[in-house]
Structure 1
Amino acid sequence: MRTIIKELLAQTMSDLLKTKPLENIFVSDICQKSGVCRKTFYHYFRDKYDLATYITNSIYSKSLLEIGEYVDDYFSTLAEGNLALNNLDSTSVVVLQKFLQAWNGNKSLGKNLSESDDLNAPFNIWKERFIHGKKIILKKRLDSMGKKLSDSDMELAGEMMYVTAMHHYALWDEKYGTNLPPEAAMELIQLMNKILDFWIAQAEDI
């Protein structure tokens, strides 16, 4: 029963997200459309953001788990500086292909999540974790070389890699759909490493 209710709420919110952004959806809307009372909703989810995160994790984690290597909480793993999930080594090719397939299969829903101005929306949290993961990887490389960057430069480096990745995702979506060729994925991986090399070159010795 627990799984059935959770999935009902997730499906209801997913249907709503196909036509309106997250900031225009309220718990009362979800309960009215699903027939689930508010008390039951809050038994399963803290708020609409918790449900939106559950939906987002379900979409992308399920896709990544198909290749048998990644934990359910994709975004938390991203924030830990996992190389494969941060598009920085060759194993990322499959990850990027799966990510694009998941995005294309849920485009209207994903659009209303990704373009939300709400800072608590999953994709805005994903942005923070994406940048955090990139900064961890950069810091690991700097530490191994006895170098350091200022906090502002570290933040700028993370933002640069995020913007670069988003630009490529948008181009791939338009050009390739769900059929991302490995060589295109490798171009982004190589570019990400060049960005890391650029910032390492700016670093000072400790």
Structure 2
Amino acid sequence: MKRRAIYQCPAALLVLGLLLSGGAHGEGLEERLRAQLRSTTAQLQTLQSEQAQASAARQAAETQAKEAQAQIKQLTAQLSKAQALNEQLAGHQQNLQSQAQAQVAASNEQMGKFKKAYDELLVLARGKEAERARLEAQLTERDTQVQQCSVKNQQMYEVAKTLLHAYETIDVTDIVKIRQPFAAKARVRFEELAQGFGDDLYKNRFDAPQASITH
């Protein structure tokens, strides 16, 4: 409005000066004044339009600035929350990592104990297996000895039966012949029989080994 008043004052003075100078120019002067007035009015309208556009632009800029400030505040608050959450998550992650490391260490320690116990049991099992194999070999040897002893006993039983039969079949005449000084043949025969029985008994004797089963 101030600019409009400024532009209108020179126009009015110009019109007044022209009127005072007389009507010599007539219609030509009036036409120039009208043209000048139209030009001034057009310039004024242009200025008013530019002023309105500038005012609207300023208001839009102020609105955008306010919105930007509000967004900045909102983003700042969100950033603060995000930083706090990030710190919280970092602390939680650190705790989880520490717990995981502790669990891994405990698992490794427990695994070491299990491995040590397994190795000890393996050594013990191998020792027991060796002891079992040794005892089994001794039992096999004893079984063989028992079988041999049974065979020897049967053979000695047969020798004893033969010896008993010989004593049962000998008569008084044979005994008298043995005691006669000149009955050399009968004495030799009986000595040979006795020697044969003795040899059979010696051959069928069973000698047990010195080794014994340990418990």
Indicate the TM-score class for this superposition, using the shorter chain for normalisation: under 0.3
- Structure with the bigger RCO (C-alpha within 8 Å, sep 6+) is 1
